[in-house]
Amino acid sequence: MTSIHNSPLVRKLSAFVALSQDELNVLERLHQRRRSFVAGRDMVHQGQSEQTAYILSKGWVCSYKIQPGGTRQIVDFQLPGDFLGLRSVLLRTSDHSFEPVVDIEAAEVSAGDLLDAFAQTPRLATAILWATSRDEAMVVEHLVGIGRRSADARMAHFLLELSARLSLVNLGSRSGYDCPLTQYHLADVLGLSAVHVNRVLRHLREQGLVTFRNTQVIIHDYSGLVELAEFDPAYLDQAGPLLQ
């Protein structure tokens, strides 16, 4: 069993707050109900009223909405250290679904456990609010990308964002990372067709910027990719703890 000190959630929250031992103990309790989920089977359904959240500890998950006509739009991808379904703890129903991209491991957290944790450790509640605010900032960037960035810049920005998010939890770096997403996943989240995604990735590779092949993202020219995407990581707020 992984020590709570090395868990992805602790690594992520430590970018905002220097966690005390009491706060670490509360997080340890939130990780007690560990579950496994298989790829392709929803763990949270849009419209679900059960008030349960999850802390993702291993694997990738996509969050998506189904339109009345049956079409699907991926909103974002959740990585180790992310909360899943946190809004459904506070809202009456979940407004979107979560589907594992690969087999995953997650800790199940009830609404009561989460509210008790917030009451016991207000600083931890603030840190989790920071994490959810950061997630909202990423969704805003995705909307800007779909509306205003070229396809090449949109892809570059998204791959750089994944690099930064994975680096925070020691699962990636500026030189690359493992990525289980298919071209269909990328097409869905970026508002492109799968054919267009293939063309964009080929163009970025031919420019010597990045290669995405066989679940591996290899960044050849980080500065060039940043310049193309006009990538400013300030919205990810990973500069270091604000609360000591």
Q: Domains in the chain and their CATH numbers?
A: 4-135 (2.60.120.10), 136-236 (1.10.10.10)
CA distance 16 to 19: 9
150 has pLDDT over 60: yes
Separation of alpha carbons 182 and 198, rounded Å:
10
Amino acid at 47: G
**Residues 17-45: what's their mean pLDDT?**
91
CA–CA dist 86, 94 (Å, integer): 9
Mean per-residue pLDDT for 189-210?
96
Give the separation between CA 170 and CA 135, rounded to whole angstroms: 18
**Over the chain, what is the mean pLDDT?**
89
Residue 187 neighbours by CB under 8 Å, 6+ apart: 193, 194, 196, 197
pTM of whole model > 0.75? yes
Mean pLDDT on 154-164: 97
- Evaluated on CA atoms 77, 81, 84, 90, the torsion sign reads negative
pLDDT number for residue 96: 78
Element holding 213 (H helix, E strand): strand 210-213
Instruction: Read off the tokens for 182.
Output: 């298919």
Angle among Cα 47, 87, 106 to the nearest 5 degrees reads 90
Answer yes or no: are the C-beta atoms of 142 and 229 closer than 8 Å: no
pLDDT higher than 50, residue 65: yes
Beta bridge partners of 66: 72
| Cα 4 from Cα 210, distance rounded (Å) | 34
CA distances from 243 to 14, 21, 140, 190 (A): 9, 15, 25, 34
Q: Which of 30-34, 66-70, 85-89, 201-205 has the lowest mean pLDDT?
A: 85-89
Span of 84-93, 146-155, 162-171, 215-224 with lowest mean pLDDT:
84-93
